[in-house]
Amino acid sequence: MFNRLEVSALPPGPRWAAQLQFRIDGEEVVAGAVGKGGRGPFAEEALPADGHGPFWATGKGRRVVLGEPECTGGCCGYLSVFVQRHGGIVEWSDWEVPIDKVRPPAFHFDADQYDAELTRALTDRRWQVWRSG
């Protein structure tokens, strides 16, 4: 059974620029792993206009930072995951979590659904309007 990924941008706040929120099977990943007040990656960095963001899965795989606690990752550590494509499956595994946090399990996504969700998030540029407004 595959997990379902949803990516959305949150409007900027008084402290942070627009950031991404990741839900896996309806559960918010960053808040679930780092606690309330944590933040996801900035939309501008994670969803660059050229489409070559860090979340695109390849056979080579790479470690990607998903978020940090309210006190910042430099203090307590970052939430990161190893993202890799295995044919028709995208795997998120080998989690690194901030100090004293619970490590999420590995997640497996249908590669076509995963790519479609990243493409949808990439083309939804409302966060740019929020930034300039």
Q: Where does the pLDDT of residue 103 fall: very low under 50, low under 70, confident under 90, or very high at 90 and above?
A: confident
Structure tokens at 76: 């307590």
Q: Which domain holds residue 62?
A: 5-131
Angle at 105 between CA 115 and CA 38, to 5 degrees: 80
Domain count, the chain: 1
With beta carbons less than 8 A apart as the criterion, state whether 42 and 25 touch. no
pLDDT reported for residue 67: 85
Note the pTM of the prediction, 2 decimals. Answer: 0.86
Q: How far apart are CA 56 and CA 8, in angstroms?
A: 15
State the chain's mean pLDDT as an integer.
85
Query: Does the pLDDT at position 73 exceed 60?
Result: no
Q: Which uninterrupted H or E stretch holds 93?
A: strand 89-96
Among residues 83, 79, 82, which one has the least CA distance to residue 103? 79
